[in-house]
Structure 1
Amino acid sequence: RMQSPVGMIPDLAEHLVGAGGKRLRPLLTIASAHLCDYQGTNHHKLAAAVEFIHSATLLHDDVVDDSDKRRGKTTANLIWGNAPSILVGDFLFARSFNLMVEAGSLEALGVLSEASSIIAEGEVQQLASLRDVEMSEDTYISVIGAKTAALFAAATEVSAVLAKRPQAERTALKTYGQELGIAFQLVDDMLDYNGNSTRLGKAVGDDFREGKMTLPVIHAYQSAKAAGRQTEIDFWNRVISKHEQNEVDLDTALRLLDKYGSLEATLSAANTHVAAAQNALQIFACSEWKTALTRLADFVTQRLY
Structure 2
Amino acid sequence: MSLDHPAAKPHDRLAAALSQDMEAVNTLIRARMASENAPRIPEVTAHLVDAGGKRLRPLLTLGSARMMGYGGGHHVHLAATVEFIHTATLLHDDVVDESRQRRGRPTANLLWDNKSSVLVGDYLFARAFQLMVETESLRVLDILSNAAATIAEGEVLQLSAAQNLATDEEIYLKVVRGKTAALFSAATEVGGVIAGAPEGEIAALHAYGDALGIAFQIVDDLLDYQGETKATGKNVGDDFRERKLTLPVIKAVAKADAEERAFWSRTIEKGQQDDGDLDHALALLDKHGALAETRDDAIGWAHRAKDAMARVPSADPELRAMLVDLADYVVSRVN
TM range (shorter): over 0.9
Q: After the TM superposition, which of the residue ranges 89-98 and 202-211 deviates more from structure 2? A: 202-211
For the residues of structure 2 that align with 1:20 and 1:247, how far apart are their CA atoms? 33
Q: What does the per-residue CA deviation read over 1:142-195, in whole Å, with 9 as the maximum and x for residues that have no partner?
A: 111111100000000001110111110110000000011000000000001111
| Matching of residue 87 in structure 1 with residue 119 in structure 2 | yes
1:17 Cα offset (Å): 0.5
1:245 Cα offset (Å): 0.5
| Matching of residue 267 in structure 1 with residue 286 in structure 2 | no
Alignment of 1:91-240 (within 5 A): 91-224=123-256, 229-240=257-268
**Contiguous gaps of at least 5 residues in structure 2:** 1-31
1:108 Cα offset (Å): 0.7
Aligned equivalent of 2:324, options 268, 282, 294: 294
For the residues of structure 1 that align with 2:107 and 2:234, how far apart are their CA atoms? 10
1:42 Cα offset (Å): 0.9
For the residues of structure 2 that align with 1:264 and 1:136, how far apart are their CA atoms? 18
What RMSD in Å do the two structures reach over aligned CA positions? 1.0
1:36–1:160 Cα contact (<8 Å) kept? yes
Aligned equivalent of 2:63, options 16, 20, 31: 31
For the residues of structure 2 that align with 1:280 and 1:214, how far apart are their CA atoms? 26
| Matching of residue 2 in structure 1 with residue 30 in structure 2 | no
Alignment of 1:248-259 (within 5 A): 248-259=276-287
Corresponding residue SS for 1:86: helix
TM-score w.r.t. length of structure 1: 0.96
For the residues of structure 2 that align with 1:67 and 1:277, how far apart are their CA atoms? 31
1:161–1:170 Cα contact (<8 Å) kept? yes
1:69–1:203 Cα contact (<8 Å) kept? no
For the residues of structure 2 that align with 1:28 and 1:204, how far apart are their CA atoms? 29
For the residues of structure 2 that align with 1:108 and 1:303, how far apart are their CA atoms? 32
For the residues of structure 2 that align with 1:127 and 1:57, how far apart are their CA atoms? 15
User: Given residue 237 of structure 1, which amino acid in structure 2 is its aligned partner?
Assistant: S
User: Given residue 331 of structure 2, which amino acid in structure 1 is its aligned partner?
Assistant: T
**Contiguous gaps of at least 5 residues in structure 1:** none
User: Given residue 109 of structure 1, which amino acid in structure 2 is its aligned partner?
Assistant: L
Moved >6 Å (runs of 4+): none
| Matching of residue 285 in structure 1 with residue 313 in structure 2 | yes
Q: What does the per-residue CA deviation read over 1:64-104, in whole Å, with 9 as the maximum and x for residues that have no partner?
A: 00000001100000111000000000011111111111222
Corresponding residue SS for 1:131: coil
Corresponding residue SS for 2:244: coil
Q: What does the per-residue CA deviation read over 1:112-150, in whole Å, with 9 as the maximum and x for residues that have no partner?
A: 000000000000000022310121111111111111100
1:285 Cα offset (Å): 2.8
Q: What does the per-residue CA deviation read over 1:223-278, in whole Å, with 9 as the maximum and x for residues that have no partner?
A: 12xxxx22211111111111110121111101111111111111100111111111
1:219–1:262 Cα contact (<8 Å) kept? yes
User: Given residue 56 of structure 1, which amino acid in structure 2 is its aligned partner?
Assistant: A
Match of 2:107 in 1: 75
2:205–2:312 Cα contact (<8 Å) kept? no
For the residues of structure 1 that align with 2:292 and 2:146, how far apart are their CA atoms? 34
For the residues of structure 1 that align with 2:210 and 2:223, how far apart are their CA atoms? 20
TM-score w.r.t. length of structure 2: 0.88
Corresponding residue SS for 1:285: coil
1:303 Cα offset (Å): 2.6
For the residues of structure 2 that align with 1:284 and 1:210, how far apart are their CA atoms? 40
Identity of aligned residues (%): 54
2:309–2:320 Cα contact (<8 Å) kept? yes
1:290 Cα offset (Å): 1.4
Match of 2:94 in 1: 62
Match of 1:243 in 2: 271
Match of 2:24 in 1: none
